C-alpha cells in the first residue's frame, strides 16, 4: 500500500500528551498488522537537545545511531517496541543549518533563499524520507509546540502543503484541552474552538480532534465541537486522564481513534484485522494488578523535574510490573545528601544513582553509594552513577582520599575517571562524546554475563569521561571488577562489586532499551533482587 502520513498537532496548552497520543495510535495501527514509525518535529532553534539543561527540556534521549533526541522518541520505542534513528527527530535548528549549508555550496543557483519554498521543502523532504524507504505503511509525525506559536509556523505550512499534495494519504489530528471551571461546574469548549480557528487560519483543517480532559465529555458537547470545528461527530475523540500512560492505547481503541484514521486515509476498516493487544493487556494487568510495593530511591541532581529521568522511571516501572510489584519511587536531590542525613536511605529496598554532567551534587551521590555498599543495599549506577561508584570505591576502599574525575577536579592526583587521550585532543566537546550503541564483551563468570545470558551485547551511550585503565587491577584485587569491556577500545562498560547482593554500574544507559514488551534484563535482575532479598 502507499504510505499514509498522520500529523499530530497541539493547541490551547503544551504538555497535553501529543507524544502519548501519537505512540498510542501507532500501537493500535501496529496491532492491526501495519508497519508504523513515528517522528518528532521540534520547533526550537537548538540543533538537537544535547546541549539543553534537563530542567529546560526533560530527558535527552539517545537513538542507536547516536542521535540526541527529544524524549518523545522514548515513548515511541517503549510503545511500539521499535528502534528510532536520527531521521525520526529534527529541529528548526537542523532544518536551517541544512538550508544554510546548501546555500553556501551554491545549491540554490543564486536564488533568494526564503521560508517558502526552501525551508518548507527541507521540512517536507525530512517528513517524507521515512515513507520513501518503502518500510512503513504509516508515518506518524508529531509537531512540537502549540498551534499559534511563531516557532511552529514553518512546520504547519509544510503540513498544509503535504495535505494538498497527498490528498487522502494524509490526515491531521489536533489535540486540545477542555478545561473544567469548578465555580461554574462546567466544561468549556471555547479554547478548543479558538485553537482550531488558529489552525484553520494557517490553512489546515483538522480531520480528527482529540479532547484532553479530566472529566467525561457528554455527547452533546462533542456534537458542539464537531459543528463548530467542521469535523465528523465520530472524529471528536475524548482522551480522559488515565491511571497510567500505558492505558491510553486501550482508551483510544475504545474511542475508535484507529478506525477513524483508517477511514480518513481511504482504507476499508472491515478488511483490516482487529487490533491484537493480548501482550499489551497482559503487561497492563501486571502493572495495575500489583498490590505489594517495592520502595526505591532515585538519587540525582535533576529530580525536581520528573521528565529529566523519564526513561529510568519507565524502565523501573516495567521491571516492577514483571516482578508483580507496584513501583514506589522516591526522588532524592543528591545536593541535599550528606553524612548526617544519608541514613534516610535505609528506608529503601534499592537505590539508583542517576546520570548527569558537572560536579554539582556529586558528593551527595558518593555518600549514597558508600551507604549502599557498606549496608548491602542493592545499588544501580548509570553513566555518571557508575563513575561515582568507582570514585567512592577508590576513596573509601583503596584509600585514595582525593580520588576523583577530572571532570570535577582536573588537578586530582588519582584520576579514577578521565578523558582518554583521543578525547583530550578533541577541541569540540560534542565531538568527544560517545553517543549511540557500542559493543560490550561480558566476562565469563560475572554476574552481568548471567543476567544477559549471552557473551556480547550492544548498549547506548551518552558521555565523555571514562574509567581509567590503570586502576582496574587494583580495584579487582579489592573486589570491584570490570565485568563489561568494549572489545574495540578496551574501555570499561560495566563494573560490579563481589560479595554484595547487587552492586552494578554501567557506563551506558540501559534504560533507553527497555520497552513494554521487552523490559531490560538489568532492571529486571535489580528488581528481582529487591523482591527476593530478605
pLDDT of residue 306: 82
Integer Cα distance of 149 and 161 in angstroms: 19
pLDDT of residue 534: 60
Task: Give me the residue label for grid cell 574501555.
Answer: 491
Q: Which residues pair with 442 in a beta bridge?
A: 484
Q: Packing angle between helix 278-289 and helix 248-255, nearest 10 degrees?
A: 130
pLDDT at 183: 87
Catalytic residues: 383, 509, 511
* Per-residue pLDDT, 47: 86
CB 67 within 8 A of CB 40: no
Beta bridge partner(s), residue 505: 381, 495
Reported as half-sphere exposure (CB side, CA atoms, 13 A), residue 22 has a value of 33
CB contact at 8 A, 437 and 460: yes
pLDDT for position 430: 47
Say if CB 59 and CB 303 are below 8 A apart. Answer: no
Supply φ then ψ for residue 208, to 5 degrees.
-135, 140
Q: Are strands 480-485 and 236-240 parallel, antiparallel or unpaired?
A: unpaired
Give, for all 534 residues of the chain, the pLDDT tens digit: 899 999 999 988 888 889 999 999 999 999 999 999 999 999 999 888 888 878 777 899 999 999 999 899 999 999 999 999 999 999 999 999 999 999 999 999 889 999 999 999 999 999 999 999 889 999 999 999 899 889 999 999 999 999 999 988 999 999 999 998 888 889 999 999 999 999 999 999 999 999 999 999 999 999 999 999 999 999 999 999 999 999 999 999 999 999 999 999 999 999 999 999 999 999 999 999 999 999 999 999 998 888 899 999 999 999 999 999 999 999 999 999 999 999 999 999 999 999 988 889 899 999 999 999 999 999 999 999 999 999 999 999 999 999 999 999 889 999 999 987 545 544 444 456 889 999 999 999 999 999 999 999 999 999 999 999 899 999 999 999 999 999 999 999 999 999 999 999 999 999 999 999 999 999 999 999 999 876
What is the model's pLDDT at position 424? Answer: 53
Identify the DSSP state of 80. H
> Across the strands, what pairs with 172?
7
**Hey, which residues does 181 pair with through a beta bridge?**
186
From CA 301, how far away is CA 361, in angstroms rounded? 6
Say what the pLDDT of residue 49 is. 85
Joined together, the cell numbers standing for residue 474 give 587494583
The CA distance from 42 to 92, in Å, is 6
Q: Find the DSSP H helices in 354-467.
A: 362-374, 384-396, 421-424, 447-452
pTM: 0.92
Helix, strand or coil for residue 379? strand
pLDDT of residue 487: 93
- 85: helix, strand or coil: coil
C-alpha to C-alpha distance for 178 and 224, rounded to whole angstroms: 13
Q: How far apart are CA 33 and CA 308, in angstroms?
A: 34
Residue listed under C-alpha cell 535482575: 525
CA triple 461-466-468, angle to 5 deg = 155
Amino acid at each position: 500500500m502507499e504510505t499514509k502520513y498522520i500529523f499530530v498537532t497541539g493547541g490551547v496548552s503544551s504538555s497535553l500528551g501529543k507524544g502519548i497520543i501519537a505512540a498510542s495510535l501507532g500501537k493500535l495501527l501496529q496491532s492491526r498488522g501495519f508497519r508504523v514509525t513515528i517522528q518528532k518535529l521540534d520547533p526550537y532553534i537548538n540543533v538537537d537537545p544535547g546541549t539543553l539543561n534537563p530542567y529546560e527540556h526533560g530527558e535527552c534521549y539517545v537513538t542507536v545511531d547516536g542521535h540526541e533526541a527529544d524524549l518523545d522518541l522514548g515513548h515511541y520505542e517503549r510503545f511500539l517496541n521499535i528502534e528510532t534513528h536520527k531521521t525520526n527527530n529534527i529541529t528548526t535548528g537542523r532544518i536551517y543549518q541544512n538550508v544554510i549549508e546548501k546555500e553556501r555550496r551554491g545549491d540554490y543557483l543564486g536564488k533568494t533563499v526564503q521560508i517558502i519554498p526552501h525551508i518548507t521543502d527541507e521540512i517536507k523532504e525530512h517528513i517524507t524520507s521515512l515513507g520513501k524507504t518503502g518500510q512503513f505503511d504509516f508515518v506518524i509525525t508529531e509537531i512540537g509546540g502549540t498551534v499559534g506559536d511563531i516557532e511552529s509556523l514553518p512546520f504547519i505550512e509544510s503540513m498544509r502543503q503535504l495535505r494538498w499534495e497527498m490528498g487522502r494519504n494524509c490526515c491531521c489530528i489536533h489535540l486540545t484541552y477542555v478545561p473544567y471551571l469548578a465555580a461554574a461546574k462546567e466544561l468549556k469548549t471555547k479554547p478548543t474552538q479558538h485553537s482550531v480557528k488558529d489552525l484553520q487560519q494557517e490553512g489546515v483543517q483538522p480531520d480528527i480532534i482529540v479532547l484532553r480532559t479530566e472529566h467525561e465529555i457528554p455527547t452533546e458537547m462533542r456534537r458542539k465541537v464537531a459543528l463548530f470545528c467542521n469535523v465528523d461527530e465520530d472524529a471528536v475523540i475524548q482522551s480522559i486522564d488515565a491511571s497510567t500512560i500505558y492505558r491510553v492505547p486501550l482508551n483510544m481503541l475504545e474511542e475508535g481513534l484507529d478506525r477513524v484514521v483508517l477511514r480518513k486515509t481511504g482504507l476499508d476498516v472491515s478488511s483490516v484485522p482487529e487490533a491484537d493487544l493480548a501482550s499489551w493487556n497482559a503487561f497492563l494487568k501486571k502493572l495495575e494488578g500489583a498490590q505489594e510495593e517495592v520502595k526505591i530511591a532515585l538519587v540525582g541532581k535533576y529530580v525536581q523535574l520528573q521528565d529529566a529521568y523519564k526513561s529510568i522511571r519507565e524502565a523501573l516501572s516495567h521491571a516492577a510490573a514483571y516482578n508483580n510489584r507496584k513501583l514506589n519511587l522516591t526522588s532524592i536531590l543528591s545536593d541535599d545528601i550528606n553524612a548526617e542525613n544519608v541514613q534516610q536511605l535505609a528506608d529503601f529496598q534499592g537505590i539508583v544513582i542517576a546520570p548527569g554532567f558537572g560536579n554539582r551534587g556529586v558528593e551527595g551521590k558518593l555518600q549514597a553509594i558508600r551507604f549502599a555498599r557498606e549496608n548491602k543495599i542493592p545499588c544501580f549506577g548509570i553513566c555518571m552513577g557508575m563513575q561515582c561508584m568507582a570514585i567512592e570505591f577508590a576513596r573509601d576502599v583503596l584509600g585514595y582520599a582525593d580520588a576523583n574525575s577530572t571532570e570535577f577536579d582536573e588537578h586530582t592526583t588519582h584520576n579514577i575517571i578521565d578523558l582518554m587521550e583521543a578525547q583530550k585532543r578533541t577541541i569540540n566537546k560534542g565531538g568527544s562524546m560517545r553517543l549511540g550503541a557500542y559493543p560490550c564483551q561480558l566476562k565469563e563468570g560475572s554476574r552481568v554475563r548471567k543476567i544477559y545470558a549471552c557473551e556480547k551485547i550492544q548498549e547506548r551511550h551518552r558521555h565523555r569521561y571514562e574509567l581509567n585503565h590503570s586502576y582496574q587491577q587494583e580495584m579487582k584485587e579489592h573486589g570491584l571488577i570490570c565485568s563489561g569491556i568494549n572489545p574495540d577500545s578496551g574501555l570499561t562498560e560495566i563494573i560490579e562489586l563481589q560479595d554484595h547482593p547487587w552492586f552494578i554500574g554501567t557506563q551506558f544507559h540501559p534504560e533507553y532499551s527497555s520497552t513494554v514488551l521487552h523490559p531490560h534484563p538489568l532492571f529486571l535482575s535489580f528488581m528481582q533482587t529487591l523482591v527476593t532479598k530478605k
